[in-house]
Amino acid sequence: MPVLSQSFAQAGVAAATVALPTPALFELPEKVLQFGTGVLLRGLPDFLIDQANRQGIFNGRVVVVKSTDGGDAAAFEREDNLYTVCVRGVEDGQTVSENVVCASISRVLSAKSQWADVLQFATSPDLQVVLSNTTEIGIVLDESEDIRATPPRSFPGKLLAVLLARYEAFGGAADKGLIIVPTELIPDNGTKLRGILRELADRARLDAGFISWLETANTVCNSLVDRIVPGKPAAEAHAALTQELGYDDELLIMSEAYLLWAIEGDERVREVLSFQQIHPGVIVQPDINLFRELKMRLLNGTHSLTCGLAVLAGEATVRGAMENDYFATYIRNLMLADLLPGIPYPVDEKVGQRFGMQVLDRFRNPAVEHRWLAITLNYSAKLRMRVVPDLVHYCERFKTAPQYVALGFAAYLLFLRSTRQEAGKYYGEANGQEYLIQDEQAGYFAELWQRPAAEVVSAALSNQELWGTDLTALPGFEASVARYLAQLQQEGASATLATVLNKNQRVAA
């Protein structure tokens, strides 16, 4: 089986279902410096840049900085920096399946052994953009950082060294500043990175001219990325794809069809990041809090309120639950009838409904296996962050308790009722199957469940250390949770869900 390479791609002998790059794409100038080779970067920004280049819009390639020499560096070299993105998913109820050989990456440089080449590229007049995804711990201050090291240890240290080299090469020209877009999954990632860069510059006693240029000529954008990119498929699936595509690709990755990349920026940012215009999921605007709220409340909040109920009902995966009429209805109603109206941020209803329908499509994706038990990790903390602000706002707005949220909370309390403790770990049981409770509050609930269920509800919901507020003060919420908890214990999760939905349907009729 041939291996993916530039010569193979240009020979055009891959399967007809593969979108191959044209020769012109390999001649485009290098406009982007990217820290990281991870699957999210390759499946989202690098993929978008490739798609824009094919349409003659962005017309630039990416130089990637890899922190070490190992890992997939050799694979990039063997495959001339090409890789395949296999997009699988559902959009507007329609199945999506496409295979794209991406040619957006021009070089992969090792920070460890090729730092001089990185700094040389920093002086290129073609360079306009810096991207990063160095994991959640990448945007941190290294108090002993030396930006003159080869290379500096931390990502912010490396970036500051790049900016200093650029400043010196162009004499501090204002038009040579860069658009910097971190994609690390932390709130206000750009704001945090900007602050660390300034602190490192102060600690290194860099001159006032550079610090002024750093802060005025460069734009560091907050951004939010959302796309499930599972990465390289398992061996059996990879072998099947190899036969389907007609070549072998060590760097092949899977990706869902949906994507969101919200970038906080002005018209200059929109102009430089011209690839944003090729996909409606890429948004550049001055305030991206709306998208953060939509994702946190409708996607993450729905996950968190459904996971316990699903485990108790014997549903293993999100997709499996979406094939169950009762669960599919519950998830839709929870998201659109309870959580959407409760979002503590101004949301146009049509925008929220559209986002919610996209989330439902993602939940149905047959190519993504998301297990409910995995979603229960840090259950209590997730409910506090994702759901409680929404719940409080809903109750303030409508003076009543959201019933689907109340059922989700009741299932959470029952899920955290442990039946066994061993070696500091707590285990629950559902449908004859034992499960591990991975929650910091597992010990608290093990003790609390020594009391009657009604007392569990009252004590747990009034615990301000858990929620930051007293949830028993919300109109009707405690009574609803207590009623559903009793029903779950007496009838089981599946029967309770059916009863609740059938009752609501009769009321609506």
pLDDT score recorded for residue 58: 98
How far from 196 is each of 20, 66, 168, 180, 287, CA to CA, in Å? 41, 21, 20, 14, 22
To the nearest whole percent, how much of the chain has pLDDT over 90?
90
To the nearest whole percent, how much of the chain has pLDDT over 70?
98
CA distance 38 to 505: 46
Q: How many CB atoms lie within 10 A of CB 121?
A: 20
Evaluate if residue 361 carries a pLDDT over 80.
yes
pLDDT score recorded for residue 217: 98
Give the H or E element holding residue 157: helix 155-169
Reference 281, options 257, 254, 300, 265; nearest CA is 257
pLDDT score recorded for residue 505: 63
Q: What is the pLDDT of residues 36-55, one digit of tens each?
A: 998 999 999 999 999 999 99
CA distance 84 to 477: 50
What secondary structure does DSSP assign to 421-461, as a single string? EETTEEEEEETTEEEEE--TTHHHHHHHTTS-HHHHHHHHH
CA distance 232 to 253: 5
pLDDT score recorded for residue 70: 65
Per-residue pLDDT band for 493 (boundaries 50, 70, 90) equals very high
Mean pLDDT computed over every residue of the chain? 95
CA distance 395 to 474: 6
CA distance 467 to 473: 12
Evaluate if residue 34 carries a pLDDT over 60.
yes
Evaluate if residue 506 carries a pLDDT over 80.
no
CB 62 within 8 A of CB 106: yes
Per-residue pLDDT band for 508 (boundaries 50, 70, 90) equals low
pTM for the whole structure: 0.81
Q: What is the pLDDT of residues 118-158, one digit of tens each?
A: 999 999 999 999 999 987 678 999 999 999 999 999 999 99
Cα end-to-end span (Å), the chain: 61
How far from 238 is each of 76, 106, 231, 250, 317, CA to CA, in Å? 18, 25, 11, 9, 22
Whether a cis peptide bond, with omega within 30° of 0, leads into 346 is no
Q: What is the pLDDT averaged over residues 330-339?
A: 98
Contacts of 161 (CB under 8 A, 6+ apart): 119, 147, 148, 151, 152
How far from 148 is each of 28, 286, 362, CA to CA, in Å? 31, 34, 46
How far from 361 is each of 209, 254, 318, CA to CA, in Å? 51, 17, 11
Structure tokens at 363: 């939940």
CB 145 within 8 A of CB 154: yes
Contacts of 361 (CB under 8 A, 6+ apart): 89, 90, 91, 92, 93, 258
Evaluate if residue 318 carries a pLDDT over 90.
yes
Evaluate if residue 473 carries a pLDDT over 80.
yes
CA distance 138 to 226: 18
Q: What is the pLDDT of residues 55-103, one digit of tens each?
A: 999 999 999 999 876 667 899 999 999 999 999 988 877 889 999 999 9
How far from 380 is each of 68, 300, 426, 427, CA to CA, in Å? 37, 13, 15, 16
pLDDT score recorded for residue 69: 66
Per-residue pLDDT band for 475 (boundaries 50, 70, 90) equals very high
Evaluate if residue 507 carries a pLDDT over 70.
no
pLDDT score recorded for residue 509: 45
